[in-house]
């Protein structure tokens, strides 16, 4: 049988991409046992559990690395973001998205701490030639998408409010770094991975607009720098757990084992998110027996 020989080395292009691409999730490359050395607050983590933040700032190694399933979800989210920024918006709207390739790093120094962040881009209105808005894209499952649309990201007690805090912080950092080109608006684009359509838009995505708030930016900086210095000043201080271990914050948390002193295992599909997917070992990581928590009763259909 005739068969083809390789015309050039297989994998050369994918290797070139892998070597040059800037990983959007540096923690994926985090080496267990290597303490983080930084006086830095990542804006993408500002909505995290305060106990999680304290562990990170102390350089506690993560005890639960991302599963293959979680990495797959992140990679899908990146692909969706690129489709939104590189195809949908520039081809079908009056805007281009700039500042996402190459990825922009924004830094803001305050009170001995550095805030760092990578906004998803800025909206540039090509008719007027103006940068009008900082842009953030979130991909989410159907359930999250429905909730975001229902709350319009405007309920401060709903998890989607964290999108607003994060994007508002990016806008404040940008304005501090580039005072001659202030951004007074924020656009948060939410995309439903499951394909659930918003009835107003008739598509599985919807964007939410907010005016930038310098006051909220200041409040968030004060809150986080205060916590950072409290953690730094007292090596014994560990914030109380704000969530139950079956809460989604905990089931997907990379410090779960360290936080609870027990070993979290994944279900056969490698999922860790969702209360039903937490399996506890009978042994704690210190070898002591740990009582099993009763599982929540399943809701019956109808």
Name the one range near ligand SF4 by CB under 6 A: 47-55, 71-79, 84-92, 174-182. 47-55
Q: 25 or 83, CB closer to ligand SF4?
A: 25
Helices (H), the chain: 12-20, 50-58, 68-83, 89-92, 142-151, 161-177, 214-233, 248-251, 256-260
213-272 binders of ligand SF4 (CB under 6 A): 241, 243, 249-250, 253, 255-256, 259
Q: 149 or 278, CB closer to ligand SF4?
A: 278
Name the one range near ligand SF4 by CB under 6 A: 32-40, 46-54, 78-86, 136-144. 46-54
Single out the residue of 130, 128, 122, 132 nearest to residue 99, CA to CA: 122
Helices (H), 28-121: 50-58, 68-83, 89-92
In the list 49, 80, 97, 134, the residue contacting ligand SF4 (rule: CB under 6 A) is: 49
Can you tell me the distance from the alpha carbon of 115 to that of 42, in angstroms, rounded to the nearest whole number? 6
Phi, psi at 286, each rounded to 5°: -95, 0
24-43 binders of ligand SF4 (CB under 6 A): none
Q: 54 or 106, CB closer to ligand SF4?
A: 54
Can you tell me the distance from the alpha carbon of 39 to that of 290, in angstroms, rounded to the nearest whole number? 35
Q: Minimum distance between the CB of residue 254 and ligand SF4, rounded to whole angstroms?
A: 8
Q: 145 or 256, CB closer to ligand SF4?
A: 256
In the list 51, 138, 206, 221, the residue contacting ligand SF4 (rule: CB under 6 A) is: 51
Q: 221 or 249, CB closer to ligand SF4?
A: 249
The answer to whether the beta carbons of residues 147 and 187 sit under 8 Å apart is no
Can you tell me the distance from the alpha carbon of 270 to that of 277, in angstroms, rounded to the nearest whole number? 9
Query: Which tokens hold the place of 210?
Result: 């907010």
Residues that bind ligand SF4 (CB under 6 A): 49, 51-52, 241, 243, 249-250, 253, 255-256, 259
């Amino acid at each position: 049988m005739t068969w083809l020989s390789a015309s050039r080395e297989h994998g050369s292009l994918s290797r070139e991409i892998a070597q040059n691409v800037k990983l959007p999730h540096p923690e994926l490359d985090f080496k267990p046992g290597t303490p983080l050395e930084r006086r830095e607050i990542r804006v993408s983590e500002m909505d995290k559990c305060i106990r999680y933040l304290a562990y990170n700032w102390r350089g506690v190694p993560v005890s639960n690395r991302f599963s293959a399933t979680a990495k797959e979800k992140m990679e899908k989210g990146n692909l969706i973001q690129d489709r939104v920024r590189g195809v949908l918006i520039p081809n079908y709207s009056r805007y281009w998205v700039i500042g996402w390739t190459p990825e922009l790093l924004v830094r803001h120094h305050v009170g001995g701490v550095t805030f760092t962040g990578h906004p998803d881009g800025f909206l540039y209105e090509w008719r007027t030639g103006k940068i009008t808005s900082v842009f953030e894209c979130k991909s989410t499952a159907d359930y999250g998408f429905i909730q975001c649309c229902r709350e319009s990201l405007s309920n401060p007690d709903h998890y989607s409010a964290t999108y607003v805090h994060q994007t508002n912080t990016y806008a404040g950092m940008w304005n501090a770094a580039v005072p001659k080109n202030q951004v007074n608006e924020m656009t948060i684009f939410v995309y439903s991975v499951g394909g659930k359509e918003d009835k107003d838009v008739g598509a599985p995505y919807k964007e939410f607009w907010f005016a930038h708030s310098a006051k909220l930016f200041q409040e968030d900086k004060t809150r986080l720098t205060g916590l950072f210095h409290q953690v730094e000043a007292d090596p014994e201080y560990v914030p109380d757990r704000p969530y139950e271990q079956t809460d989604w914050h905990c089931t997907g948390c990379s410090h779960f084992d360290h936080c609870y002193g027990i070993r979290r295992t994944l279900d056969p599909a490698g999922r860790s998110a969702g209360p039903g997917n937490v399996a506890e070992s009978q042994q704690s990581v210190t070898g002591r027996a740990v009582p099993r928590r009763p599982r929540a009763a399943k809701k019956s259909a109808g």
